[in-house]
Chains A and B, each alone.
Chain A
Amino acid sequence: MAFIPGQPVTAVVQRIEIQKLRQGDNLILGFSIGGGIDQDPGQNPFSEDKTDKGIYVTRITPGGPADAAGLMMGDKIMQVNGWDMTMVTHDQARRTLTKKKEDVVRLLVTRKSLEEAVKQSMSYPRQ
């Protein structure tokens, strides 16, 4: 998912809707994020391009809301509820995801297998 500065980013994305789970006073989503424009991109184990400073899903709590919605480890989050996630700091991403007033987050995530699936389906002739 390399990008060229100045050019629009194109990616094949999947729409994932997660219902937040209420645990006491907190609303949790059940996954962990890493990355951000203020972080070191070289230490991200999931990115293909080691200069990619996007937000990645680093861990999924099994059985949690994110797991139920189909989020997978290593996904790059492109949008959250319409807010862009490709050029944000780590803290901004955290705040966007954990807004107390929202019950549900609609994510646009991308992963490598999506691109390959699209390519494969395009290579088969239409029937």
Chain B
Amino acid sequence: MDTESTYSGYSYYSGRSRGSHRHGERSRDRHKTRSKDSRSEKSVTINTPPAEPLLGDSAVRGEQVQDDNWGETTTAVTGTSEHSLSQEDIVRITKDLEDSVGLDCRRYFTLTLAVILGLLVFLTPLAFLVLPHILWPERLQSCGTACEGLFISVAFKLLILLLAVWALFFRPPRAGLPRVFVFRALLAVLVLLFVVSYWLFYGVRILDSQDENYQGIVQYAVSLVDALLFIHYLAIVLLELRQLQPCFSVCVMRSTDGETRHYNLGQLSIQRAALAILEHYYCDFSVHNPALLSASKSRAAKHLAGLKVYNVDGEFPAAPAEGPGNNAAAGLAHSQSRAMIAAAARRRDSSHNELYYEEAEHERRVRKRRARLVVAVEEAFTHIKRMQEEEQKKAPGDVMDPREAAQAIFPSMARALQKYLRTTKQQHCHSMESIQQHLAFCITNNMTPKAFLESYLTPGPTLQYSRDHWLARQWTLISEASVTSGLKDGTVFLLKCVDFSLVVTSKKIPYIQMSEEYIDPKSHKFVLRLQSETSV
């Protein structure tokens, strides 16, 4: 019920729809509905509705015509204004406001730290080489051939290190994780310690004593750069290679409709595993559609709605008493709920019957509308044809670009498409503008009508839709174990979003023991199975 109250501003329309007079419909249909029963003619308005919804989705037509169960959908929150919001919209707006504040300073802090460390690392070998020339140039031995060869080596190794660090670390960040990335922090500390210890040694043994052996100093700088390259190798192994080998099989289930997927992950910390799972979520899971859940909610409400518990013995827990009094009140509530459960179990309700027939009817309706839609689209596509080069000179008048062509053929299929979307409760995912854009795109790329329809017939992955329809932007990781600890067998954590949550359980991939058996190709021999019967 909550999800439909957004559009309940139109409910006063449907209240009058039974009387076969609909506001804003085409005049043709109005004449028809006066003569026929309103149930048989479900007309669709293509004109823009008089009230602009607050969320700016101008193509939404609202739950105007739901003749089957209009009693349930139209008595939701009928606000005094036409711009009524549901509870979830309010929560979503407040969440979006607090989205962008607070995490930016942390990102800039880590960025500046990284830049400082990088500068320190790159300038250290150069400083080692240059400082003797500045501080004691007259006592310094001149650089021989081998020493100058080492200059080239230092230069190229520094260049390689620069490119490698750029490739590994200077990539646009894909996410903001709750806790610090442990391996990166450890590596940064290691590099810092390393460079500091080299500086200490340099300061004590070379600067203080003013060593004249320049070749030794150059070799010292080369060893520093070598060691930095090895640390970079360690960084690659820890950050990139270690989690490539799949170690855990992770099961991700959406809490609202139970859609489940399984992924293979390597040895990751919980927050990085959550990040990998979310990136897969946007590609694999179909878009979350709250309109599909209303039926089960209404059924659940009906189950317990018919039962009322009366207290025949007449003991009212009037004031909150201590000790045994409270227990009596708790016991009373306990026994009440048990009585309700027992009564509900005994009651012979026929709700399963209703569900069965309702689902069969819905299935039939969806298939009928889909057939009409496919025919309408195929017919619409036959009206336009790609123009050949030689025709360009003959008929310059009627030439259209893809967008105009789309707008030209859209009205003939619009009604069937809207009816289908409304039956499958997808109408809020697609605006008229997006449909026309998609149509222009399909026409440009020579797609068949079936290819055009594919994105409307089945609910696609979340990435396919525009950002406002995702309903999944800000994620919270809920976990009993620390989020920087590694994944283990049986780890369970939750990724909560405003409307739903993803439940993630992990299982270790078992150790596989394989043995071999050799089959000689000459060992494939066969005999006939005889069973003859001879009469004598």
Q: How far is the CA of A44 from the CA of B532 in the complex (A)?
A: 10
A32: chain B residues within 8 A (beta carbon): 533-536
Q: Which residue of B lies closest to A44 (CB)?
A: B531
Please report whether the interface of chain A is mostly helix, strand, loop or mixed according to DSSP: mixed
Q: Which single member of A43, A61, A94 contacts B529 (CB below 8 Å)?
A: A43
B532: chain A residues within 8 A (beta carbon): 34, 39, 90
Asked if B531 and A33 sit within 8 Å, CB to CB, the answer is no
CB 8 Å contact bits of A16-58 with B (1 = contact, 0 = none): 0000000000001101111000111001100000000000001
Q: Which residue of A lies closest to B529 (CB)?
A: A40
Q: How far is the CA of A40 from the CA of B536 in the complex (A)?
A: 20
Kindly state whether residue B51 has any CB partner on chain A within 8 Å. no
Kindly state whether residue A109 has any CB partner on chain B within 8 Å. no
What is the size category of the interface that chain A forms with chain B?
A: 10 to 19
Q: How far is the CA of A58 from the CA of B470 in the complex (A)?
A: 77
Q: How far is the CA of A32 from the CA of B536 in the complex (A)?
A: 6
Asked if B536 and A29 sit within 8 Å, CB to CB, the answer is yes
Q: Which residue of A lies closest to B528 (CB)?
A: A40
Chain B residues bordering chain A, tally (CB within 8 A): 8
A59: chain B residues within 8 A (beta carbon): 533, 535
Q: How far is the CA of A30 from the CA of B128 in the complex (A)?
A: 114
Q: Which residue of B lies closest to A94 (CB)?
A: B534
B357: min CB distance to chain A, Å = 54
B529: chain A residues within 8 A (beta carbon): 40, 43
Asked if B533 and A58 sit within 8 Å, CB to CB, the answer is yes
Kindly state whether residue B530 has any CB partner on chain A within 8 Å. yes
Kindly state whether residue A85 has any CB partner on chain B within 8 Å. no
Q: Which single member of B530, B534, B535 contacts A38 (CB below 8 Å)?
A: B530
Asked if B535 and A31 sit within 8 Å, CB to CB, the answer is yes
Q: Which residue of A lies closest to B535 (CB)?
A: A32
A104: min CB distance to chain B, Å = 14
A34: chain B residues within 8 A (beta carbon): 531-534
A90: chain B residues within 8 A (beta carbon): 530, 532, 534
Q: How far is the CA of A94 from the CA of B535 in the complex (A)?
A: 8
Q: Which residue of B lies closest to A27 (CB)?
A: B536
Asked if A33 and B534 sit within 8 Å, CB to CB, the answer is yes
Residue positions of A touching B, CB distance < 8 A? 28-29, 31-34, 38-40, 43-44, 58-59, 61, 90, 94, 97-98
Given A29-B536, A34-B531, A97-B536, 20 extra CB contacts under 8 A: A28-B536, A31-B535, A32-B533, A32-B535, A33-B534, A33-B535, A33-B536, A34-B532, A34-B533, A34-B534, A38-B530, A39-B532, A40-B531, A43-B531, A44-B531, A58-B533, A61-B535, A90-B530, A90-B532, A94-B536
Q: Name the 8 nearest CB pairs between A and B, nearest first.
A: A32-B535, A40-B529, A43-B531, A97-B536, A34-B533, A29-B536, A39-B530, A94-B534
Can you name 15 A-B residue pairings with CB atoms under 8 Å?
A: A31-B535, A33-B534, A33-B536, A38-B530, A40-B529, A43-B531, A44-B531, A59-B533, A61-B535, A90-B530, A90-B532, A90-B534, A94-B534, A97-B536, A98-B536
